[in-house]
Amino acid sequence: MNKQTIVADTIDMVKEKLNNEGSGHDWYHIERVWKMASKLAAKEQANSYIVELAALMHDLIDDKLVSSKDEAVQEVEYWLEGAGVSSSDAERIMDIIQTISFKGGNGRKLTTLEAQIVQDADRLDAIGAIGIARCFTYAGSKGDVIFNPELSVRESMTEKEYREGPSSAVHHFYEKLLKLKDLMNTETAKQIAEERHAFMEDFLIQFFNEWEG
């Protein structure tokens, strides 16, 4: 099986799986991450085949989407084998999606350029105009308001507290989105992040101007 066919088959499989996904991990999030990751791979001279497959599958084992992470991991492994991905490539891809799904927590550092690129592409989709839109969508689905001046910004918290505790969409900017620019791994992503970051800062200035009347 050639690599192009494997990528095309992976796209079909992921689209099918994420059909009706409502938590901000719909196919179009995956498509944006995949395209951005491909672009970063070309600029950073990474292995684009590994990057593309890992980007396409990066959310398939996310515990927000699956009931059993172990089963989801096994399913992806079977799928890669069936699709004709060599075992050494499959191992590299699994390593990337498993490390990334730890959400930067657990202290596992990304050791390969390909993993860094997929993480950068995922993070770039959380900032800028699209990041703002995703943030308000997520907050709405979780029952949070757009902003609540009585809440404080939660500086240190566990992933669970952060995800489930009461917050507001605007608080999420301070808790996460404004920090992402400095967490980019690659030079190319850092440059793209600058403009998206500036756009969020402008948005917040306008937001608070309107809030205060």
Site of interaction with ligand ADP (CB under 6 A):
24-25, 59, 62, 64, 122, 126, 131, 134-135, 138-139, 163, 167, 169, 172, 176-177
Give which of 138, 148, 122, 127 is closest to 56, Cα–Cα: 122
- By the 8 A CB rule, do 26 and 48 touch? no
Q: How far apart are CA 67 and CA 71, in angstroms?
A: 8
For residue 172, the partner it binds in Ni ion, ligand ADP, none, with Cβ less than 5 to 8 A by kind, is ligand ADP
Closest CA to 203 of 151, 148, 136: 136
- CB of 165 vs ligand ADP, minimal distance in Å: 8
Binder to Ni ion among 122, 171, 186, 200 (CB under 5 A)? 122
44 binds Ni ion (CB under 5 A): no
Question: For ligand ADP, which is the closer residue by CB, 3 or 24?
Answer: 24
Long-range Cβ contacts of 108-117 (<8 Å, 24+ apart): 110/185, 113/44, 113/46, 113/186, 114/41, 114/46, 114/47, 114/50, 114/51, 114/54, 115/54, 116/185, 116/186, 117/37, 117/40, 117/41, 117/44, 117/46, 117/51, 117/185, 117/186, 117/189
6 vs 125, beta carbon nearer ligand ADP: 125
* Three-state secondary-structure class, residue 201: helix
Q: Residue 21 CB, nearest distance to ligand ADP (Å)?
A: 11
Total residues interacting with Ni ion, rule: CB under 5 A: 2
Among 44, 52, 59, 120, contact with Ni ion (rule: CB under 5 A): 59
Q: Compare residues 52 and 122 and give the one whose CB is closer to Ni ion.
A: 122
Q: Which two tokens stand for residue 96?
A: 């990337």
Q: Please report how close the Cβ of residue 86 comes to ligand ADP at its closest, in angstroms.
A: 27
Contact 80, 93 (CB under 8 A): yes
Select the binding partner of residue 69 from ligand ADP, Ni ion, none (C-beta < 5 to 8 A, by kind).
none
Decide whether 114 or 122 has the Cβ nearer to Ni ion. Answer: 122
Q: State which residue, 59 or 114, has the beta carbon closest to Ni ion.
A: 59
Task: Give the residues lining the site for Ni ion (CB under 5 A).
Answer: 59, 122
